[in-house]
Structure 1
């Protein structure tokens, strides 16, 4: 085994993604992921509950940034403007250095129903964070829940556009444009 090196979670995530891409998710074991990084299974389980979670690390940090951005939005602000601030704040997780990893990760998720289910749970957590932060700001129901759903839709759409190989825009710009498009679409339905 390799002596201690920093950033074990990131190394494990990278190794897992490489193996999932090479062999498939179902054909990769935790032992193989740990071996690829020169770490032990025990070290793997110190950082991740199971091999699915290696693709979903950072969710707690994402939720925290999102909720803090909504809470910190200046008063008075309409709910969708607070959602916009939160979406822009999450762009720190989606820089150009993460794009290739995100594209490969999404390909693995798209190829595996178990991972698709986990992705949906992650997105539901984001919606709940949007809603709870809006409620904390005093946004009443059903407005908080509706704005949270729009925020989730904007996040998902912006992310899908961001990982598209033809995309030339950064994540923050994509979130702004997507939220504007959703506002315009909703206005035409009234």
Structure 2
């Protein structure tokens, strides 16, 4: 559907128009068969306009989430020695709070139809790595040993990304990603933030 001639609808920003056009094309043609030129033509904007908003084709899907991850990383860094399980939980829950359906949610729900399986595996891995490192760094800053901190980072980052995927696959009208993430974080109860006794039984 072209972005022109939408009677009765408020005019969307160029960013929104580009994102909508990209998602339409990904569903129609598949991700690999869609070029930036295709997207700008469908949206009725210039190529330079595309790169004013997005660094690449995949950035159309991830730009909103990347902004949230960046804010979460800054918040985690600010914790310093006061980092704790509850404070990290709070930051991660804020990361997904009020998360409206967006291109990423649509992609997660329609990855097969869009031909995005390999792309999402790769791109999700990059975000997992960023979040995992930030949580692990916060854990180390609070005095937790390196191995435990790395495990905590991996677990918490996986909880965030898995919660988003499950929420998207269920459909945006069924609950919130924050509620799903609360459930995911509860599954990490056997890996508390503070050091505990380690069972060394082989």
TM bucket (normalised to shorter chain) is: 0.7 to 0.9
Partners of 2:36 and 2:57 within 8 A in 1: yes
Please, which moves more after superposition, 15-24 or 5-14? 5-14
From 188, 193, 197, the equivalent of 1:182 is 188
Instruction: Give, in whole Å, the separation in 1 of the partners of 2:183 and 2:61.
Output: 27
* 2-structure distance, mates of 1:51, 1:35: 14
Question: How many Å apart are 1:89 and its aligned residue?
Answer: 0.8
Q: Is the contact made by 1:62 and 1:90 (CA closer than 8 Å) also made in structure 2?
A: yes
Say whether residues 1:40 and 2:42 are aligned partners: no
Larger Rg: 2
Query: TM-score normalized by structure 2?
Result: 0.73
40, 45, 52: which one pairs with 2:58?
Answer: 52
| Structure 1 runs (4+) greater than 6 angstroms displaced | none
Q: Distance in 2 between matches of 1:11 and 1:140?
A: 47
Task: Output the TM-score relative to the length of structure 1.
Answer: 0.77
Query: Who is 2:67 aligned against?
Result: 61
**Structure 1: stretches of 5+ with no match in the other structure:** none
How far apart, CA to CA, are the structure 1 residues paired with 2:105 and 2:12? 25
Find 1:104's aligned residue among 103, 106, 115: 106
In the TM superposition, residue 142 of structure 1 has moved relative to its aligned partner by 2.7
Task: Provide the C-alpha distance between the structure 2 equivalents of 1:117 and 1:157, rounded to a whole number of angstroms.
Answer: 15
Report Cα offsets for 1:11-40 as digits up to 9, x if no partner.
Answer: 212211111011111221211111122111
What is the aligned-residue RMSD (CA, Å)? 3.2
- In the TM superposition, residue 148 of structure 1 has moved relative to its aligned partner by 1.0
In structure 1, what is the Cα distance between the partners aligned to 2:90 and 2:75?
6
Could you tell me how far 1:82 is from its partner in structure 2?
2.8
Q: Secondary structure of 2:87's partner? A: helix
Number of aligned pairs?
A: 182
The answer to whether structure 1 residue 130 and structure 2 residue 135 are counterparts is yes
Distance 1:14 1:132, change over 3 A: farther
Assess, with a 3 A threshold, how the Cα gap between structure 1 residues 52 and 81 changes in structure 2: closer, same or farther: same
1:73: how far off? Answer: 6.0
Q: Which has the higher helix share?
A: 1
Q: Contact between 1:73 and 1:85, CA under 8 Å: does it hold in 2?
A: no
Pair 1:119-2:124 in alignment: yes
The one of 52, 60, 76 aligned to 1:70: 76
